[in-house]
A and B are shown apart, each in its own frame.
Chain A
């Protein structure tokens, strides 16, 4: 296999996306809203379609605004349905995003003559093509996606950095956060906005599958490895970045085992993140399966070795 600057840019773009998602993802996981990324990335379809129908062009900005707006609406509708209708939040999310997705499909199909939108492209993305679309950044020719995702990453870093203690407080104890005057609902919507913006910015470039995976998997892996928030954020970012590199390598390498050409990198990045999660699950220091089995074996050995006079005395004592 030959590694070119092309591959480097793909990995960089993927890593920027992944890290940008992993940061808000940690808070989503802590707030038990992991599925929000999935919901938002499906639900933005009508936003894209509407933006296209209104402006008549596929300029990124209109699409971006439309999609991000619908993304925030998804969070809003979910909240309303689960609060006013007293519906389980997961179910509310499912209803909202399937309905929005269906509406988007209908809009696209109705305007099929005029709209050239491929729903599949939204899901898979085309990370392989990112290095082709470049902008000049000083002396350097940098892919546009890298610039965009770099900006989104900076935005997310800024949010986590500036609102760190508020986010932490409202993630672990929304009640306390409210009584101290940091509205947990406001923070919730802020987080949702950031997730929507990240999702939309990322999937145009690299496909929503990376977004969904990177919002959840690195944070989940990190949560298996640590009990503290700052290490969790760092580990999640590390896992995200590594899985981008590993995923692209897998996408080139694995198909060659079967004599096929390289496959979709974004799918493989999700798989790589899953593999890293699996390693954390197996070999985690405290909760890992191996550690758990070892501990179990040690304990039963200790019990075997322990002097048995307790039970012997029990047996030999004469009945009263």
Chain B
């Protein structure tokens, strides 16, 4: 699609502009270009995490399960607490990352199974299942943490909730990158299956795909991203990473691969920019800045994206409204001229009072004035003194064309309405382009019989 080719590089350029433009600021460029030794781990990890969660999040969004990440990330908390307690009791390193992550994964997967179980065996909806797992598991986590926090060495367990991006070390970075690569590769390999799952899971299961297994795999990947992200960026940020970039990407395209790619890109860029900003500013926690950057990208996308953005849609809507206004105006004028005509056949163009046009439809004087001004600018109609109006030569031709088209359509719908009128765009195209020539002839004959015949409009210019 053209806008992908045009706007995606533009978006990228806009986002990278600040670092290119600020070569005067010494630290800024160094951080953004990862030249500062201390921050490159942090910045790269958040960016990589953003890429992975952005990709997985696309499927979640399309499956209308965005908040699944929220529920799953809360569900990991009891696992963290229990793993900590067990490791303390076993006398090992109570805060070894793999152990805590294993605990988090186990309880996350447990939460996931409960969620799917509720969805499949009761009449409760997805949102209840998510909220239930979230609150009960989180409650358990709070209770477990309340128990273990009196153990020695428990300080800092709570950083799992808010995250401490600044404390990511090289070892964590390896974990994050490895996981991100696995998640991304699996998403690419199973792209077709996940796509089917997102758009029509009923069809997928009737085609013999293991829908439940795919569902578990997809959500398992979400759990994995969540768990690894918890340590790095905290609970809230990982939720935002799973939801915001895909939702932002959705505005730009209707094509799933493009969307997943864009979403990964937005996630990565927000992580990278946010972590850089936070590294440069004292007391701005990276987690918060990254979420705000991602939200800003979302807002810009929501308004400016041409495909599904608010402004684009509003513009298309306005254009359609103008077109309909013009058609109503010109047809109204043509019908007035027809009514003035005593003999049958094409009416001739003469001036008529504006009040007569006003009575044609239920438009307010203000509305009519607006449409008239617009049409006068286009050279279709002219204002005469004494509040009279006259169609220009070009406007008259256009009016005849519109009226004829309208009547053919009406006739068509009346006589052949069983041919799904909703499937024909009634005013976008000329009727001849949609229907066969023979059918058009029959419609014209029928119109002639009723005396509502509008001849082929005269050409407004010399041929």
Contacts and interface: CB of A to CB of B under 8 A. Distances in A.
Interface of A: 29, 32-35, 37-38, 42, 81, 84-88, 90-95, 98-99, 101-103, 105-106, 109-110, 112, 119-120, 123-124, 207, 209, 212-213, 215-217, 219-220, 223-224, 250-251, 254-255, 258, 260-261, 263-264, 266-271, 273-274, 277, 281, 287, 289, 292
Nearest to A277: B132
Interface string B131-165: 11011101111111111001000000010011000
A85 B251 contact: yes
Given A94-B70, A112-B283, A212-B138, A102 B291 contact: yes
B239 A212 contact: no
B146 A267 contact: yes
The secondary structure that dominates the B interface is helix
Contacts, number: 210
B351 interface: no
Contacts of A274: 132, 135-136, 139-140
A120 B158 contact: yes
B142 A267 contact: yes
Contacts of A91: 61, 64, 66-67, 243, 246-247
B337 interface: no
A35 B70 contact: yes
B449 interface: no
Nearest to B313: A86
B70 A38 contact: yes
Contacts of B189: none
A294 B186 CA distance: 40
A263 B67 contact: no
Interface stretch (B11-19, B31-39, B115-123, B176-184): B115-123
Among A112, A123, A267, find the residue whose CB has the most chain B CB atoms closer than 10 A: A267
A98 B161 contact: no
A106 B288 contact: yes
A120 B145 CA distance: 12
Interface of B: 61, 64-67, 69-70, 85, 118, 121-125, 127-128, 130-132, 134-136, 138-147, 150, 158, 161-162, 236-237, 239-240, 242-244, 246-247, 250-251, 283-285, 287-292, 295, 298, 302, 308, 310
B240 A217 contact: no
Nearest to B314: A84
Nearest to B141: A267
Contact of A35 (B67, B121, B147): B67
Given A86-B308, A209-B138, 13 more contacts: A35-B70, A85-B251, A91-B247, A95-B240, A101-B236, A120-B161, A216-B128, A216-B135, A217-B135, A220-B124, A261-B147, A264-B143, A287-B121
